[in-house]
Amino acid sequence: MTHLKRLTAAIFCLLWTASTAVATPSVDDIVKRVEANLSGETAFMRLTMVVRTKRGKRTMKMESWAKGRDRSFIRITYPGKDSGITFLKIDNAMWQYVPRIEKTIKIPASMMLQSWMGSDFTNDDLVRESSISEDYHAALAGENETEYLLDLHPREEAPVVWGRIRMHVSKEYLLPARVSYYDEEGRLVRVLDYLEVKPFGERHYPTRWRMLPQSLDREGHLTEVIIEHAVFDAEIDEAYFTKRALKRFSQ
C-alpha cells in the first residue's frame, strides 16, 4: 500500500517537472546556455575598448584569441605606443609581455584586482571570468515578454566577492542583456550591459559591452568594448596559448 503511494507520488513529480521543462527551460539550463553563447568553442575577435573618465576618453584596439573559457590570448594593436603588448591567460594565471621593456611579467596575486589597461575591468575579471554555473545558484526572479530575470547567489565556497548578481537574459538569443553586481549589503557596485546583438554566422553575439561602475570613487567612469569582428568555432593555433606566444605574437 505504502509502496504504491510512493510510486504514484514519484510518477506525479516526474510528470510535473517534465511538463514545466517543456514550457520553459530550467534556470540552470538558461545559465549554461548563456555561458555557452557567450564563449563558444573558440573565438577570434577584433575589439575596440573605450575608457571614459571624468577627464576624457581613451580608445584602444586589440585582437583576442580564446579557446573555451580557460585560455585566451590578447594583443594590443592601437594606440601605437601600446601596440604589441600581449596578455596570456591560462586557467587562473595571467602573464603580460611588454615590448618596450622586453619582459614577460607574471601578474602576481596582489595585482589581480588592479584595473586592466586602465579600464573598469580588473585583471581578475579577465582571468577568473568566473564560471557562473559553477560559482552561483541561479533562481528565476521574474520574466516578461522578452527577458528572464535571474538572481544569482554565490555558492558558499565560491571565491567571488559579489553578494548577488542579477542578470537580465534575452529570451530571443539566450544572451545576457544586463548584469548588475551587488555587494553583500545589497548595494549596487557595477552594471555591465550587453548591447547590439548581431549575427555572426550561426551565432548571435552582443557587440557592445558597457561597464558602468557605481561606486562613488569611480563616478563618471565608463568602459565600452565594441566587437568589430568575430569568428567563432574556427580552428585556433594551440601555439597562442603558450608563454612563448607572448613575445612571438607581439609583433
Kindly list the residues in this chain that would bind another protein in the complex (CB under 8 A): 51, 53-56, 58, 76, 79, 81-82, 85, 91-93, 96, 98, 100-103, 105-115, 117-119, 127-128, 154, 156-163, 181-184, 189, 215-221
Least Å from the CB of residue 93 to another protein: 6
- Is the Cβ of residue 73 or residue 232 nearer to another protein in the bound state? 73
Least Å from the CB of residue 46 to another protein: 19
Closest CA to 174 of 200, 151, 150: 150
CB 86, CB 100: distance < 8 Å = no
- Is the Cβ of residue 25 or residue 99 nearer to another protein in the bound state? 99
- Is the Cβ of residue 30 or residue 107 nearer to another protein in the bound state? 107
- Output the nine-digit C-alpha cell for 249: 605574437
- Is the Cβ of residue 58 or residue 171 nearer to another protein in the bound state? 58
Q: What is the C-alpha end-to-end distance of the chain, expressed in Å?
A: 77
- Is the Cβ of residue 178 or residue 236 nearer to another protein in the bound state? 178
Alpha-carbon distance of 226 to 243, in angstroms, equals: 27
Q: Buried b vs exposed e over 18-27: b needs ≥16 C-beta within 10 Å? A: eeeeeeebeb
Q: Which helix (H) or strand (E) holds 2?
A: helix 2-23
Q: Which helix (H) or strand (E) holds 248?
A: helix 243-248
Least Å from the CB of residue 244 to another protein: 18
Least Å from the CB of residue 130 to another protein: 9
- Is the Cβ of residue 30 or residue 225 nearer to another protein in the bound state? 225
- Is the Cβ of residue 102 or residue 145 nearer to another protein in the bound state? 102
- Output the nine-digit C-alpha cell for 107: 601578474
- Output the nine-digit C-alpha cell for 191: 552594471
Least Å from the CB of residue 115 to another protein: 7
Alpha-carbon distance of 187 to 21, in angstroms, equals: 33
Least Å from the CB of residue 118 to another protein: 3
Q: Is the dihedral of CA 50, 173, 166, 122 positive or negative?
A: negative
Q: Is the dihedral of CA 25, 38, 213, 165 positive or negative?
A: positive
Least Å from the CB of residue 33 to another protein: 26
